[in-house]
Amino acid sequence: MSQISQKPLMAVLFVGVLMGALDLAIIGPALPAIQSDFNLDNRDLSWLFTVYVLAQLIGTPLFAKASDKYGRRNVYLVCVAGFGLGSLLLVLASSYETLLLGRTVQGLGASGIFPVAAAVIGDTFPKEKQGSALGLIGAVFGLAFLLGPVLGGILLRYSWQWLFLINLPIALGLLVAAWRLLPSGGSGQSLPFDWAGGVLLTALLFGIAVGVTNLDTADIAGSLVSLQVWPFLLAGIALLPLFWRAEKSAADPIIRPTFFAARQIRLVMLIAAGLGALECAQVFFPALGVAALGITESTAAWLMLPGVFVMMVVSILAGKLVDALGPTRVIQVSLGIVLAGLLVYALAGITYVTFIGGGMIVGVGVAALLGAPLRYILLEEASPEDRASTQGLLNIFLAVGQLSGAAIVGAVATSAGGGTTGYQASFGVLAVITVVIGGIALGLRNVRPKIAGPAPDTAGAQPVDPFRN
């Protein structure tokens, strides 16, 4: 693909991922107005955020597999159209149930956009530019959390519906551009879609996600035996071996068991689960500021903005480093940076300087890890027929880590007495987890990018052995 055509393609991918990420960040400013209009309590309100995340988690592997099978363009169009439909449902909603439906459809639409974007980069960009492209896509999430409050403040002057109405012209423009620019071919296989695996995977992910989400971090043991937790967790865990058996016998499984035969894949997924927990820790940084500095939650959130800005910039720079040095070195150094930031929070006296500085240090490491290096390794390991599927699998492990990280921080902080001492203890535990992940990363084989031409069009190619050890 020529440099001229890469730029508009990258713009389509960037805007699509930004649209999905923004609606995860922008819902916050809209919640008070929605609560007032629909007379909702706080628990009802929280589900407008939770159902979006759950829909993304469930939809990601399904749309990723569909992208490998039926073509990047087709699935990207369906996802963008679904996101637009969900936004329209929110604008027109006259009941809480319609709000939930709209957020669910939005989340399902958003779920396929990122893995498809990463797969398109692997399909069309030369290897020496894939790291930079993935880093740019990763920077979207930092940008979304910077733009979300600003856009919310502007559009809420008119009504909360405008926060979602603005998605409609963006989605329409993306549909036109994606139809023109995205590659259209799929794997060319005539094998049936793995519906049994899809149903089982959806059910087990839903059970685990709802069970972990409903955990009371102040009373883990007590909440584990509650009806809001144990039936869901038990169902999710019980379905796991059934799903694995179904995938082994499926003609074209959603998640190939052979994915885990490759050592690189196994190590990347373990690192991703740990990284998800480290990423989730950032959600609790403002709580540490409130407890240690005696500031308000809003002030603590503002003090985190330098770290968010740094994350956006570093994601782009880390992508370039992946192209220059290979992903493994970037992963290992970035984990060291995360460890340094967590140790500041765990061991140093919390002042304004250490609070802002620790957040920025952790942000540098997390941003470098989330953008390019892990995804680059998966693009290298996967065959063209499985690129999106492996990206979707990575998202699942990140999400499981995020859910687990929230439970870990809450449980440790509570058991250590809460407040500054409790949160510092929890960040100390996460520092230990970082050391473990760093040990795992030492086992990765470094892949040095080679200067080469663009990847050949493999849309009609027959399946090959997807992984190598």
Locate the domains of the chain by residue range: 1-182, 256-448
Domain made up of 256-448: CATH architecture: Up-down Bundle (1.20)
Q: What is the pTM of this model?
A: 0.81
How confident is the model at residue 453, as a pLDDT? 44
DSSP class of residue 111? H
From 435, 429, 392, select the one nearest 410 (Cα to Cα): 429
**One fold for both 1-182 and 256-448?**
yes
Closest CA to 446 of 334, 328, 318: 328
Q: Which of the residues in the chain have pLDDT under 70? A: 1-5, 25, 149, 185-190, 217-218, 448-469
> Tell me, what's the pLDDT at 44?
79
* Neighbouring residues of 243: CB distance < 8 A, sequence distance ≥ 6: 197, 200, 201, 204
CATH node for 1-182: 1.20.1250.20
Give the model's pLDDT for residue 175. 94
pLDDT at 155: 79
pLDDT, position 332: 94
Reported as type and span, the H/E element at residue 193 is: none
Note the pLDDT of residue 187: 54
